[in-house]
Every structure is written in C-alpha cells, then in structure tokens.
Structure 1
Amino acid sequence: MTLQEINKAYNRIVGSLDSKELKNAFDSLQALIAGSREYSFQDKLNELQDTYKYMLRYRIEGAKDPMQEQIYNNLQASTYELADSVRQKALAIESPLSYYSRRRNISVQPPFTYEQIHNQLILEYEAGKHRECDAFNISIFSKIWVSGFLKQEEANEIRDMLLDEALPFITGCQIVSALFLGLQEVFDKEKALLLFDAASHPNEEIKVRALISILITLYTYRKRTALYPQIANRLAALAEVPGFTKALRTITLRFILARETEKITRKLQDEIIPEMMKLSPKISNKINLKDLTPEQLGEEMNPEWESFFADSNLGKKMEEFGELQQEGADVMHSTFIHLKNYPFFHELSNWLLPFTIEHSSFDNQFNQDNEAEKQMLDSMTLAAFMCNSDKYSLYFSMMQLPKEARKMMMHQFDSQASEMIQQNKEELISKRGKQDTIISQYIQDLYRFFKLYPGHLDFTDIFTLPLDFHNLEILRPYISDKESLTTIAEYYLRKNYFCDALTIFNQLAEIDPNSDILFQKIGYCKQMEGDLNGALDAYLHADLLNSESKWVIRRIAGCYRSLKQPEEALKYYRRYEALNPDNLSVQISIGHCHLELKDYNEALKCFFKVDYLDSKSHKAWRPIAWCSFLTGKYDQARNYYKKILDNQPNAQDFLNAGHTEWALQNIKGALAHYQQAVQIENINFSKFQEQFGQDIPDLLIAGIEETEVALMLDQLRYKIEGAL
C-alpha cells in the first residue's frame, strides 16, 4: 500500500469507530493489515472480533450482562489502539513526516532509558553545564515525542523526571510539550495521564502548559476519551482545584483571540458585513442608499448590551493596537514572523521552549562590557507582551547587529523598553494575572510552531479547528455555568463569530427564557449569518418580552423591509417614530417604505421633512428628485437634479436627470446627460443599457413613446462614437 492508501484506510477505520460501527471497523482493519502486510497484528484482530461476536450472541440470547457496556467500551478502545499500532508500523519505514524521520534517527542511536537520561541531566545541571543540559532536554523531548505506547515502567520514569524539583522547570515544560505533540500523532492513555500529573505540578508554567495540552487532546480525541474512565476521573479530581473553571474559560477565550492573529498581522480588522438592502437594484441606485445609510439592518449592536461589559474585563476592550495588546491579542506575530530562520529554530523542541537566560545560546555573552545585554535579557524574561519564541528571535536578531549599533540599541532599550517591560509586568500581570499571561504566551508559541516551523505541514494545524472546549461533553460539567457560557458567548459576539455565539445564546435562552436581551442577541447573530426569518422571529420574541426597546423595534422593521414586506415594516417604523419623532434615519426609512409601496406622495413628505430638518447634508435630494419624477413633478425634479449634478454626481444621477429632461421634451438635454452617464462608467455602454432598461416602464408612464426608446439608444450610440 502507498502512504496515501494507508492513511485513507486508517481514516475509514476511525470513522467507523466514531460512528460505533465495529463490524465495519474490523473489516477495514483487516484490509489495512493485509494491504500493509503487517500480519503480526492478525491475532489481536481475531481476538477482538471473537470477543465482539460472543458479546452479540450473548445479547441476542437475551442474557443481561452488567459488564456489557464496559466490555463494549474496551472493545472500541482496543480497536482504536490496534488501528493506531498498525498504521504506525506501516508508516515507520517510508513516511517522510517529521515524526517518523525523528523516530528512525533515534532508533539507530544508543538506547538510553528515561531514568538514565534523568540521572545524567541532574549531574550536568548541578555542574552548571548549560549546553549539555540543553542537549539532554532535546533528547528527552524527542524520545517522548516519538515514543510508541508507553509501558507502565516508562510512564513511571517520565513521571519521576517530571516531578523532580531538582531539575530545571524547563525540563518539565519540554516533557509536557513532547507529550502533547506525541498525542497529536497517536492517542496514548499513559501519555494523557502524565499530562494530568503535570497539570497538578507546583510550577505554574508547567501546570498551565499541561492544562492547555489536556484540553487540545480531549478535543482531538473527543470521540474516544469517554472510553477511558481514568481520564474522566482525573479530570474530576483536577476540577476540585480552585480556579479550574476560570482557567478553562480563559484558555477558551485565548484560543478565540488566536483566530484574530492573521487579521492583526495584516493590520486589518474584521468588519461586520452589513446586510445588503433587499430592495430592487433600481430603487437602491436611484436614491443612492450608500449615501443615505437608511434605517434597515445596520451593523450596530444594541448599546444596552454594554451593561454586561461595564461590569466585566471585556468592557473596555477595543480594536486599537494597544488595547489588543492589553487584551492578550497576538500583536507581535507580524513583527517576528520573518525572524525564525536562526539555527536555534532548526530544532523543533526550541519552538516551545520557555525563555530563560540560562540557555546555552547566551553562554559567554556577558561580561563587564555588556551589562546592558544582561539587563535586557533579564527584562525580556519578565515581558508579558512577547511570547517565548519571539523573545529568542529578538535576542538573536540583536546579536546580528554591529557592536556599536548594538550598544546604541541597548542604551535605548535600557532607558525606554526596560521601563515599559517593568510597567507591563506590573500592570498586565496584575490585570490579567500570571496564569493568564502564561496561557497567552504558550498559545502564541504554539501558533508560531504550527504556522512557521519549517516542517509545520507535517503536523495537523490545531488553529484551523474550532477548539470550542465548552461544547465537549466531557468538559460541560465544568464550564456550563451561566457565567462561563455568557462570557464565552459575549466574546464570540464581540469578535464577530456569530455562529459560535448563537449556539451558546440558544443554550442560555433555554436556561433563562424570559430574557429579552438574549433573544435580541440571538436575533442579531441570525441576522449577521443571513437568516433573516430566524432573526425576525427572535426579535419579535424579544419585543414581546420588552416592548420598550427602540433598538428591537428598528430591527424588526429592518427585517420586514429586507423580506420585502414594506407594509409590516412601516408599522414598526411608525412605532419608533412615536418614541423618537425627529430621528432622520427613521424618517428616511419610512419614506423608503412608502416608495416601495408606490405611495410616492407620502414618500415625498418624509423626504422633504428630512431635507428641512437636515438642510446641510443634502441626503434627501436624490429621493426627492426621483419621487418628483415618478409623481410627474418634472420641473421640481429638474431643480433638484440640477443641484445634485453641481455636487459630485454619479452615473445614476446623470441617467435620472436625462429621464427628467426627456419627460420635459428636452431631447438634446436628455441625450447630453445620458452621454455623461456612459462616460462616467468608463464607456461601459452595456452597464448603462442595463440600468436604462430597468427604467423603461417609468419612462412610458412619463409619456415617452415606446418607439422613441430604441431611437434614443441608437442616437446615444452614434453620439458616443462621435458620428453625430
């Protein structure tokens, strides 16, 4: 079998197991064993199939076995594991992936147990040999990362190393990252349980990294973790530690924020795409909706929702660069994206290494002449706004500078950056907490690894996954409280992830069905997802719960307009008008409703009122001019189009002015305006003709003979060609 065929067969097996179709999984597994010629696994497969057949026969005979569920779960878990083993064995020799390449390299090296490496590392560390310590840490990382299913003895040795306080905390961090990456390649219960040991570690850095790794592992294997009761038990024990739910919530928010990284890198923020007006293109163009910004379905959220943010850490978060940094956003990614080519980053494990001035890369760099460099590194260790990977990048890039330039830079750093870093340490950490800072930095380190590591394509990019931990069945008992769900939903909403927010708001609405604010937000999310009927239903429900919300009344009216029900929209705009009679936006929308209902005289009244109350903006000129034309007030239309053409006209204005002149029997004037309309469209006659064609019924009502229409268009063609 080719590598592609092996992976395809494996995915079929996992798909069948995820769907609890054991017979199909066994058949596909049989095909994988035969195709890859890994017959050493045949006996195990036969054993699993026999057990399953006995269980089915026992069930058919009507016997009740209290152990049946446990047996069934064990069968599923064992089949997953067997499929993993067969795949790994089949890929071991030829797969070019980093995981298998590193595995092959280690297999030809002298075999060392984890205990032997542990003892040797202690000796090197106590002797202050940084270079040797770093080399051993790389060995530990690699050995754990590419290991097969851990035997109990191996797991115990790794646990001893992880919990040994005589070792530097760097070692524990590297063990956690190696376990995490190994689990991303293949599930191993022993590795997962080791992560739970690490999540109870006294060192905060190790503990936080382990918790993040556990959550991603639970998400990756969400279909099979329930098969291992030890995992649920360890999770329950971990949840008893104070602050567990808060940590889950923070990690979830930070992964949501990580989705923003590319937008920040491109210096672009997501804009909420406003709902397109559901009016005909003709009316939309006639009155220049973009200029009018009529009251329909705008993008603004309800200002009343801000009450939640006023009482929470989300309250003052804005999209400006500095505010994003305070929020924990990855604002430095764009700065360091091209500074990952140093030899240090050729080693995979270094991408996830905590920043420390004890790393061998800094050996022999400090003496009495470069105290500033040492101070810089000391300060960088405390910097909360840079992840570990970027701190290494900054140091290596500065080391590339000439000595004098470096001195000057160090001086500037000493006088300015050091103060900023100290301030960040005091302010950012006090605001977000040490745990929050570690969470942000490790997630950013992971982001750089999965996006920038030269071999990153060999790994499944976790940042392309939703990572909605709050939706995992195994985690719901710990993060389904109202505060957590509300916080996560609001964060999704503020970051414009409306579908994710909607899922949670629907859950919250089941808990609190009398909250009009929740139904407002459900409506808003559905509207922004394009579900106007669903949005309208939610807004109407919110209006029933609270009929005093002007924002909801306007939303309902906007939905009705977009759904081509101007008569219903008009009722709600009138309701709003009673509450706020001089709101020009609503007056314009009322005028539009009358326009869509072909009640042009009433529309004119609204637009004249807007022009009177806001005479400086001239927003109402276009609708007044077009309604005047439609009602046969051609002189009035001419006067307004004259003012419009003197004030930054567009192609539609010249077209409409041409219609008006034609209705007044000024054929030459009409022709001149039509020619200008074509020219302003860069001689795109077909586009002009399309717009012109939409207006033919109105021209006929204005008294233009149908035979004259074709003649006018031909005259215009000759005029454009310069033949007339």
Structure 2
Amino acid sequence: MQHSEIKSIYNNICIQLHNRKVVNACNLLRQLVKESQQEYLNDNIDTHLSTYKNILKHSFSGVKDPQRDMVFHYLVRDLLELADLLQEIILSEKSVTNSYALKKDYNKRRLREKSDIQSILENLTFDSQPTSILKEINIGSSEIHKNRQNALEELFNFIWFSDKLTDIEIEFLETVCDSRELPWHDKCLAVSALTLSIMRLFDINKLIILFRFVEQREENVWERALTGIIFSLLKFNDRFYLYPILHEKTIELREFPDIEKHIEAILIQFTKAKETEKVTDKWEKDILPEMMKMRGKIEEKLDLDNIISEETGEETNPDWETVFEDQPGLLDKLAEFTQMQLEGMDVFMSTFAQLKHFPFFLKASNWFLPFYSQNENISELIVDPDNNIDLSPLIEKLESTYFLCNSDKYSFCLNLAMIPAQQKSMMMNMMQGELKKISEIENDENILNELAKSKNIYSQYFQDLYRFYKLHPWKKEFEDIFNPALDIFASDFLKALITDKIVIRNIAELFLEKKFFHDALKVFLSIYDEDKQNTELFEKIAFCYEKTNDFKNALDFYKKAEIIQTSSSWITRKIALCYKQLGKWENALEYYKALEKDAPEDLQLQSNIGQCLIHTEQFEEALKYYFKVEVLAPENEKIRRPLAWCSFLMGKFDTAERYLVSLLGNHPDNKYDLMNLGHVYWLTNQHQKALKQYIQSLKKWKSYKEFEASFNEDRKHLVNLGIPENDIDLMLDYIRIENTEN
C-alpha cells in the first residue's frame, strides 16, 4: 500500500466508527492488519465484534441496559486506538522519512526500567538523587554541559516519538512535571514534545499529563501545556465524548483563574498565527518598499488613482465598533508595523527565516527551547575577552523582551557571534538603546500584569510553533497544525469552557476582522438566539453570509436589520447588492434608486442602476445613467462596454461601433467585444466585416459550442433589430464553415 492509501483507509475507519458503522470499520481494520503483518490483532477485532453483537442483541431484547452507551463508547474508543496503532506500525516500517528513521532509533531504547528514569534525571539535574540538586557542581564544565544537552535532546525525542505511553514512561513524565529541581525551561521542552507527540498519535495519557502541567501553574510551562491541550482537542474533538476523564478535567479547569480569558488569548493568537503569511507579504511588498522610497513628501505616500473605489471596496459598516484595532489607520506604515508587533502579530517571520540554518537548529528540540541567558548554547558566544567584548547585558535584556520569539532570539545570537568584533560593539550599543525603548513600550502596554505576561508567552510560543512547522528542514514530514481549517467552536472542550458571552463575541469579532468569515459566522450564530434585537449582530451575520456567497441568507439578515434601523444607507446598499447577486433586478433597482436621492453623483451607484436597467430591458434609461458616468469619469474605459451594448440595442449602431472599436483598440482579444462588433456590422449590412469579427471572436473561445451558446443568448435582440431568425442559423453555419476552411 502507498502512504496515501494507508491514510485513506485509516481516515475511513475513523469516519465509520464515529458514524456507528462498526462492522464496516472492522472490515477496513483487517486490511490494515494484513498490511502490517500483525495477524494476531485479528483476534482483537474478533473480540470487539463479539462485544458488538452482544450490544446489538441486548438492544433489541426488550430490556433496557443503562450501561449500553458506555460499553459502546469503550468499544469505539478501543477500535480507534487499534486503528491508530496499525497506521503507525505500517508507516514506521514503510516510511523512509528522517523523522521515522529517528523514531525507529528511539523505539529501540524505550524507557523500560526505573533506572532509565534515574539516568536521564541525573544528566538533567547533575544529581544521583532526583529530590535535590548539587549546587556546588561547576555548571561551567563543558563536559557536563555536553551531557546535559544530550540528555535534553534525549528527553525531547523520547517523548515526541512515544506512541502509547508505558507505565514507566507515565511515571517518568509525572516526575518531570512535579520536580522542583528541573528548571522551567526543561519542562517547557517536555511539554512541547508531548504536544508534538499527541498531534502525531493520540494517547489519552499524554493529554492527562498536559493537564497535570497546567495544574502545577509553573510560569512559562503551564501556558505551553494549555496551548498543547487546545491544539490536541481541536484536532481530536471527535474523541472527546469517548473519554469521561476529559470531561472531568475540563470541569476542573473551569476553576482555573481567568481561564476563559486565557482561552480567548490562545484562540486570538492562533488566528493571528494563521495570518503570518499575509503579514510577511505586507512587509515585503508594502511596508519595506515604502521605507525604501521615503523622501519626506506626503504626496509620495498618497495613491490618488484609486479615490473612486469599486462597490466591493466598502466592506464593513463604518458605524460598527472596532473591537480589535490592528492598524492605527495612519499613513505612517512604520507605526502600523510597530502596532502589529504590540498586538502579537508575527512580523519577523521573513526576517529570521533565513537564519534557521545554523547547526543549532538541526536538533528539533532547539526549535522549542525557551530563551534564557544562562543557556550553554549561547553563553560561550557572548563573551570575547580578547577584544574586551561582553554581550551579557544585551542578552539579558533580550531575554526579558517579548518582541521576538524564542527561536528568533537564538537566531539573532548565533548570527551575532559571526559578526566582526568592531561591528559587534556597535550593534550592542545600538541594540541596548532599542531594547530599552521596547521595555518602556512593554511597560506602557501593562505587560507586567499576570494575564498580559501569559498573553505574551502565548504569542512567543505560537511563533516558535509556526517556525517549526513552516521552516524546519523536515517540515513536509509533519502534519501542519496551522493549515487545516479547524472548526474552533465545534470543539466540545472549548464549548464546555467558554460561557462568557463577551469572550465569545470578542472571538467572533476577531474572526470577522481577520476575514475568517466561515468561522465568524458560526460564532455569531451561536449567540444570535440570545440577542435577537441587536442590529449590529444582524448586520455582521448578514455580512458573513455575504462574504461566503450565501446571498439568500445575507438578504434575510440585512432585512431584519433594516426593520430596526430604517435609515442606514449601508444596509440599503447591502440589500441592493444581495438582490443584484440573486438576479432580482427590479428589487435591486428600487433600493439603488432610494440611495440615489442622497448620493446623485455616486459613480458606482449610477453604474449599478444602469446595470439593473439593462437587465430589466430599460435600455434607453440605462444609456442615460452610463452617459452620466462617462461624463464624470471619462478615463474609465470600462464604462464604454455597457454604453456600446445599450447603443446597439437602441439601434444607434454608429455610436455602438465607435465604442467597440475603441475598446478593441486597447483589448483586441476580448471575445465579447469582437462578437458585438460583428452584430453591429451585420445590422449595417457589412456582412464580410461581420463574418471576420465573428471568426476572430470564435478563435478566442475554447470551443465552437461555447461560442454558439453565447451567440444564441443574443438571438432575441438580433431578431428584434430586424435579423430574420432563419438567417441567424445560417450565419452560425457560415461562421463554422469559414473558420474550418481558414
């Protein structure tokens, strides 16, 4: 079997089990058993099928069994875990990727004895007694540092590549979690490895240990653990109901101080992380070019060519309250960039993407290593006694700032070590001043309060995760947690935790602002029943429907808003747009006419009225509106096309010809303009010129069939203008024959 076929069968098994199709799932499981060559697992499947038959037998025996659902859930859970195991066995044997090669190596050395735990803890704490650390050991010893770094890598990879945790491994991780000797940054690595491990292969014990890390409330550690829980239960939401302990842990988590605000902060950061590519693109294509051409003249910053915007330019209602202000709305793009930094946007992705090629980043664990100034990886790089350079003050300030994520801080330091001594001194002086300013900004932003500190930890951690999944040399081997469209509010875990309507509304507002309209719509609809008199809520639900091309429902909610707020031109314009998109031209015309009373010079409005008039076959009236647009915006050549069409239908062939020739002068390959000019020539008895235009138009279509269909759409107009219907069929054949012969 190919990798894709294995994945397909596995996914189908999961779907069948969640749809209560146990027999189908077991048949598919046998295919994986055969492929894995673990034939003994067929006995396991037979046992589960026997259990399932007993469930069915009791279900229809007339006796109610209060334990039936629980037993069925256990059955589904066990079969899902069997599918997990089989997929992993097959992929481990068949895959030739780097990560599976590393996994095979570590699987040979799984933790089997308590002495294995003791050995790793000794290397991490320099102590044969895990309960105390020998402070007198000289931690500057390079050999000890080497042993410790190796132990950290071992710790990370053992956890990452664990499938189902053994009792010994569970005890080991509980020891790591509860240890008062292990430093926080080592625990952070363990938590990150656990998160990667769950995302690779589900195991309830891994999740329970993450909950344990949260309960310990150790700063920097519990925030990562909570993030890992959310990622895991977003991916495996369909298993939440199968494990009663998850519900129990969720109930316990409700008592955690400010838990809803923390969940909100994580979801916001998750949303912003998905925007990183947009931010990078904005920096490279917008902000950086602006910086390069600044000349101090405000005229150079103004784009006067686009003052008249298209209808699609008016997106949100300007009266809506801004809940998340990512941009100050100023021309100063550097100020905007700074604001984006403060709001947790990942603005340095493109800058540091080129600095992930140091040997340091060959170890997966180092992508998740928190930045701390005493780290042995950088302590040797920051002191240069020969040149009287000590970068320790700079590194200490860098440690405390939240502007760079941990991964980028290491990139910065590793790059700094390669700079000549003179430039290093200059950079240190410059950076110290900049970091001082950053510290002042962070203080102004109230970053020192507990919740704010946690928010910044989330921000840094998400950026570390993002870099790993987007930049690691093995990134194609991992399932990217930022790519799938995770349905956040379908998560039973999150729904059980988030009950504060303000928090829910804030998340919806963020989705709306970031243009995740499907997500925003689901959240807005979840609070709709409890707030049916809120005009703004109607508008935003309608707007999300509109942006997802569901104009029927959009119209319904815009009309609800109109009942409450009758004088809103924004609502009126949106209703007109929905009618237009639904092809209800007379209704659209009514609303556009209402808008015209207050905005008679609005060019987009004039054009829309003209469009409605064309579709209601009021061509003479439409011509007046389009002429008005042409007078007010003569540089807009697009207006010539409806002017040509209306002139043609009104029998003003000279005018139609003039406009069409002008259009084709700039765009000679427009198949519609070529066809329309052919119509004009035909109706003015210039048959050969008409034939020539038709053949040129035909060559621009993919097929004669498409050309003929378009031609026939104009049939009634040609007949109304005097062309006999039979002649139209003859002309089509003539065009086809001449095109073939030429």
- TM-score, normalisation: structure 2: 0.78
State the match for 1:143 in structure 2.
158
Which amino acid is 2:198 matched to?
L
Which amino acid is 1:83 matched to?
A
State the match for 1:202 in structure 2.
217
Secondary structure of 1:489's counterpart equals: helix
Is 1:183 equivalent to 2:198 in the alignment? Answer: yes
Secondary structure of 1:165's counterpart equals: coil
> What CA distance in whole angstroms lies between the structure 2 residues aligned with 1:175 and 1:635?
79
Contact 2:320 2:536 in 1 (8 A): no
State the match for 2:359 in structure 1.
343
Secondary structure of 1:166's counterpart equals: coil
Higher mean alpha-carbon deviation, 153-162 vs 180-189, is at: 153-162
Distance 1:151 1:664, change over 3 A: closer
Contact 1:380 1:421 in 2 (8 A): no
State the match for 1:545 in structure 2.
564
- 1:441, distance to aligned residue in structure 2 (A): 1.1
State the match for 1:495 in structure 2.
514
Which amino acid is 2:356 matched to?
K
State the match for 2:48 in structure 1.
48
Contact 1:382 1:421 in 2 (8 A): no
Higher mean alpha-carbon deviation, 196-205 vs 466-475, is at: 466-475
Contact 2:469 2:481 in 1 (8 A): yes
Which amino acid is 1:486 matched to?
R
Distance 1:85 1:605, change over 3 A: closer
State the match for 1:211 in structure 2.
226
Which amino acid is 1:539 matched to?
Y
Contact 1:261 1:329 in 2 (8 A): yes
- Deviation string, structure 1 residues 264-320 (Cα, Å, up to 9, x no partner): 22338999xxxxxxxxxxxxxxxxxx999798x52423434532x1x5566858994
> What CA distance in whole angstroms lies between the structure 2 residues aligned with 1:61 and 1:621?
77
State the match for 1:375 in structure 2.
393
State the match for 1:157 in structure 2.
172
> Which residue, out of 550, 575, 580, partners 1:556?
575
- Deviation string, structure 1 residues 534-593 (Cα, Å, up to 9, x no partner): 333332232233322211111222233344433222211222234555645434433443
State the match for 1:409 in structure 2.
427
> Which residue, out of 328, 337, 360, partners 2:376?
360
Is 1:173 equivalent to 2:191 in the alignment? Answer: no
> What CA distance in whole angstroms lies between the structure 2 residues aligned with 1:270 and 1:499?
28
State the match for 1:281 in structure 2.
none
Is 1:306 equivalent to 2:323 in the alignment? Answer: no
Secondary structure of 2:320's counterpart equals: helix
Secondary structure of 1:158's counterpart equals: helix
Contact 1:344 1:350 in 2 (8 A): yes
- Deviation string, structure 1 residues 404-459 (Cα, Å, up to 9, x no partner): 333333333234x3234323432456398211111111111111111211122222
Secondary structure of 1:167's counterpart equals: coil
Contact 2:489 2:522 in 1 (8 A): no
Aligned residues: 684
Contact 2:626 2:643 in 1 (8 A): yes
> What CA distance in whole angstroms lies between the structure 1 residues aligned with 2:232 and 2:575?
44
- TM-score, normalisation: structure 1: 0.80
Structure number with the bigger relative contact order (C-alpha 8 A, sep ≥ 6) is 1
> What CA distance in whole angstroms lies between the structure 1 residues aligned with 2:285 and 2:523?
21
> What CA distance in whole angstroms lies between the structure 1 residues aligned with 2:462 and 2:533?
38
- Deviation string, structure 1 residues 661-684 (Cα, Å, up to 9, x no partner): 99999x9xxx9xxx9x99xxxx99
Contact 2:99 2:474 in 1 (8 A): no
State the match for 1:286 in structure 2.
none
> Which residue, out of 413, 432, 436, partners 1:419?
436
Is 1:511 equivalent to 2:530 in the alignment? Answer: yes
> What CA distance in whole angstroms lies between the structure 2 residues aligned with 1:105 and 1:458?
17
> What CA distance in whole angstroms lies between the structure 2 residues aligned with 1:616 and 1:36?
69
State the match for 2:412 in structure 1.
394
Higher mean alpha-carbon deviation, 388-397 vs 528-537, is at: 528-537
Contact 1:383 1:424 in 2 (8 A): no
> Which residue, out of 469, 473, 478, partners 2:488?
469
Which amino acid is 1:350 matched to?
N
- 1:100, distance to aligned residue in structure 2 (A): 3.8
State the match for 1:66 in structure 2.
66
> What CA distance in whole angstroms lies between the structure 2 residues aligned with 1:114 and 1:411?
46
Which amino acid is 1:537 matched to?
D
Distance 1:570 1:3, change over 3 A: closer
Distance 1:698 1:2, change over 3 A: closer
Which amino acid is 1:509 matched to?
Y
State the match for 1:241 in structure 2.
256
Distance 1:147 1:657, change over 3 A: closer
Contact 1:398 1:406 in 2 (8 A): yes
- 1:626, distance to aligned residue in structure 2 (A): 7.5
Contact 2:488 2:494 in 1 (8 A): yes
State the match for 2:125 in structure 1.
122
Which amino acid is 1:323 matched to?
Q
Secondary structure of 2:493's counterpart equals: coil
State the match for 2:36 in structure 1.
36
Gaps of at least 5 residues in structure 1 are: 272-289, 718-724
Higher mean alpha-carbon deviation, 467-476 vs 627-636, is at: 627-636
Distance 1:269 1:122, change over 3 A: closer
Percent identity (aligned): 31
- 1:44, distance to aligned residue in structure 2 (A): 3.8
Contact 1:508 1:518 in 2 (8 A): no
> What CA distance in whole angstroms lies between the structure 2 residues aligned with 1:360 and 1:247?
32
State the match for 1:534 in structure 2.
553
> What CA distance in whole angstroms lies between the structure 2 residues aligned with 1:547 and 1:8?
53
Secondary structure of 2:312's counterpart equals: coil
> What CA distance in whole angstroms lies between the structure 2 residues aligned with 1:462 and 1:79?
25
Secondary structure of 1:541's counterpart equals: helix
Distance 1:419 1:703, change over 3 A: farther
Distance 1:561 1:267, change over 3 A: same
Contact 2:240 2:492 in 1 (8 A): no
> What CA distance in whole angstroms lies between the structure 2 residues aligned with 1:220 and 1:562?
36
Which amino acid is 2:116 matched to?
T
Distance 1:662 1:3, change over 3 A: closer
- 1:656, distance to aligned residue in structure 2 (A): 13
Contact 1:584 1:610 in 2 (8 A): yes
State the match for 1:285 in structure 2.
none
- 1:174, distance to aligned residue in structure 2 (A): 0.9
Distance 1:370 1:69, change over 3 A: farther
Is 1:325 equivalent to 2:328 in the alignment? Answer: no
Distance 1:696 1:377, change over 3 A: same
Secondary structure of 2:428's counterpart equals: helix
- 1:383, distance to aligned residue in structure 2 (A): 2.6
- 1:469, distance to aligned residue in structure 2 (A): 2.6
Secondary structure of 2:469's counterpart equals: helix
Distance 1:83 1:696, change over 3 A: closer
- 1:389, distance to aligned residue in structure 2 (A): 0.9
Is 1:220 equivalent to 2:235 in the alignment? Answer: yes
> Which residue, out of 456, 461, 464, partners 1:445?
464
Higher mean alpha-carbon deviation, 374-383 vs 342-351, is at: 374-383
Secondary structure of 1:209's counterpart equals: helix
Distance 1:187 1:565, change over 3 A: closer
State the match for 2:102 in structure 1.
102
Distance 1:270 1:232, change over 3 A: farther
> What CA distance in whole angstroms lies between the structure 1 residues aligned with 2:199 and 2:629?
62
Distance 1:401 1:292, change over 3 A: closer
